[in-house]
Amino acid sequence: MAQSHMGEGMQRQHDLLMRAIVAIVIGLGLLGSANAQQGRPLRLVALGDSLTAGYGLPAEAAFPAALERALRRRGFNVEVANAGVSGDTATGGLQRLDWSVPDGTDGVILELGANDMLRGFDPALTRQALEGIIQRLRARGIPVLLAGMYASRNLGPDYAARFDAVYRDLARTYGLVLYPFFLESVAGQQALNLPDGLHPTAQGVEQIVQRILPSVESFIARMRVRARAG
């Protein structure tokens, strides 16, 4: 009898969980449809370095353009501006923040730090600059999706641990949507990178977009909830 009650309880929990999952999925679908019917598109800015700018690629193959197409296919009325600058560091992004993210921006996808790591900058400096960007956008009422980066392991375990933690800690501190590794499934894949081994091909960018898309949809959903509440 006790086992029977336990089984019924577990089944109820399972049913409730499944209903919650279905509600989330349906909610995201309705969100996309509702957004598509609105007149003004949702304005996102991708603030980053060469990985955002689309180094070595035509403009239409760069990450912001590819992400915009993917979101529109899913029913979202969005514009994704390309605010990527090749060679930029987190500090560089902070210095150009005001003109890179204009008034009227609804959200920012922040992808910076790779050049800091490649140049061996102290992770504390990268954190300080990224935190400055987040705080200044927060003051303007602009939410942030943080796209993280992992340190190259040849820099040593201590550096890698300190650098990798920057993004997790900032996301936790400020309650951000975090995509842990921007180059997930692309880094180290010869077929998905240009001959320099550092920058993705157009196919590599499409892979990045498919991987990050659920996080971006979650980000948009959070923005809509916030807008309704505010």
Q: Which one of 50, 106, 116, 164 is the catalytic residue?
A: 50
Q: How far apart are CA 47 and CA 96, in angstroms?
A: 10
* SS3 labels along 115-177: HHHHCCCCHHHHHHHHHHHHHHHHHCCCCEEEECCCCCHHHCHHHHHHHHHHHHHHHHHHCCE
Q: Which one of 4, 5, 158, 196 is the catalytic residue?
A: 196
* Displacement of CA 53 from its chain's centroid (Å): 15
Active site residue 218: no
Active site residue 49: no
For residue 167, which of 148, 152, 181, 184 has the smallest C-alpha distance? 148
Q: Is 79 within 8 Å of 222 (Cβ atoms)?
A: no
What are the start-end ranges of the E strands in the chain?
42-48, 78-84, 107-111, 144-147, 177-179
How many angstroms separate the Cα of 142 from the Cα of each of 134, 139, 176? Answer: 9, 8, 12
Active site residue 4: no
| Helix 157-174 vs helix 123-139: crossing angle, to nearest 10 | 10
Task: Please classify residue 136 by burial: count the beta carbons closer than 10 Å to its beta carbon, then call 0-12 exposed, 13-18 middle and 19+ buried.
Answer: middle
Q: Which one of 4, 100, 199, 218 is the catalytic residue?
A: 199
Backbone angles phi, psi at 188, to 5 degrees: 80, 0
Q: How far apart are CA 187 and CA 218, in angstroms?
A: 24
Catalytic positions, please? 50, 196, 199
